[in-house]
Structure 1
Amino acid sequence: MVGYRAPRHPQVEHLARRQTLAARLVGLLILWILLVALVLVAERAIPDEHLPWKPLSVIDPVGAATKAKAARTGQDVAACRAVLAKGGLAYQIAPETEDGFCSVKDAIQFTGGMAPLAPTDAVMTCKQALAVAIWERQVVQTAAFETLGQAVVAVEHFGSFSCRRIYNQQAGPPSEHASANALDVSGFRLADGQVVRLKDHWDDPGPKGVFLRQVRDGACKVFLTTLSPDYNDAHLDHFHLDMGGRPLCA
Structure 2
Amino acid sequence: MPAPSSSRARRFVVRLAWIAVLAALLSLGWALHSGSIRIPEAFNPWAPLDVAAEPNLLTGFKLRHARRDPARCLAALASTGLTYETVPDRSTGPGCGFQNTVRLRSGRSLALSSPTVLSCGAALSFAMWERHALQPAAVLRLGMPVVTLEHLGSYACRDINTGEGQARTSGRRSRHATADALDVAGFVREDRRRITVQRDWEGGDAEALFLRDAHAGACRFFDGVLGPDYNAVHADHFHLEVGGWGLCR
Which range, TM-score by smaller chain?
A: 0.7 to 0.9
Name the counterpart of 2:155: 161
The structure 2 residue matched to 1:125, chosen from 94, 119, 130, is 119
Q: How does 1:142-221 map to 2 (within 5 A)?
A: 142-167=136-161, 169=168, 172-221=171-220
Number of paired residues?
220
In the alignment, is residue 83 of structure 1 matched against residue 83 of structure 2?
no
- Unpaired runs of 5+ residues, structure 2, are 1-8, 33-38, 162-166
Give the 3-state SS of the residue equivalent to 1:98 in structure 2: strand
- The answer to whether the 8 Å contact 2:201/2:211 transfers is yes
Percent identical across equivalent pairs? 35
Name the counterpart of 2:129: 135
| 1:76 CA drift (Å) | 1.1
What CA distance in whole angstroms lies between the structure 2 residues aligned with 1:159 and 1:61?
29
- The answer to whether the 8 Å contact 2:110/2:148 transfers is yes
| 1:171 CA drift (Å) | 6.1
| 1:132 CA drift (Å) | 0.6
- TM-score normalised by structure 1 residue count: 0.78
What CA distance in whole angstroms lies between the structure 1 residues aligned with 2:83 and 2:170?
37
What CA distance in whole angstroms lies between the structure 1 residues aligned with 2:173 and 2:84?
27
Name the counterpart of 2:164: none
Name the counterpart of 2:238: 239
- The answer to whether the 8 Å contact 2:103/2:118 transfers is yes
Name the counterpart of 1:8: none
| 1:28 CA drift (Å) | 3.5
| 1:223 CA drift (Å) | 0.5
Name the counterpart of 1:7: none
- TM-score normalised by structure 2 residue count: 0.78
Give the 3-state SS of the residue equivalent to 1:166 in structure 2: strand
1:9-58 superposed Cα distances (whole Å, 9 cap, x missing partner) = xxxxxxxx9xx99xx69x948x949x96xx9xxx56xx92x764442122
- Unpaired runs of 5+ residues, structure 1, are 1-16
What CA distance in whole angstroms lies between the structure 1 residues aligned with 2:155 and 2:238?
15
User: Which structure has the greater CA radius of gyration?
Assistant: 1
| 1:244 CA drift (Å) | 1.5
| 1:242 CA drift (Å) | 0.3
| 1:126 CA drift (Å) | 0.2
The structure 1 residue matched to 2:62, chosen from 64, 69, 85, is 69
Q: CA distance change for structure 1 residues 229 and 100 in 2, over 3 Å: closer, same or farther? A: same
Q: CA distance change for structure 1 residues 170 and 195 in 2, over 3 Å: closer, same or farther? A: closer
| 1:188 CA drift (Å) | 1.1
| 1:95 CA drift (Å) | 2.9
Q: Which is strand-richer, 1 or 2?
A: 2
Give the 3-state SS of the residue equivalent to 2:76 in structure 1: helix
What CA distance in whole angstroms lies between the structure 2 residues aligned with 1:248 and 1:65?
20
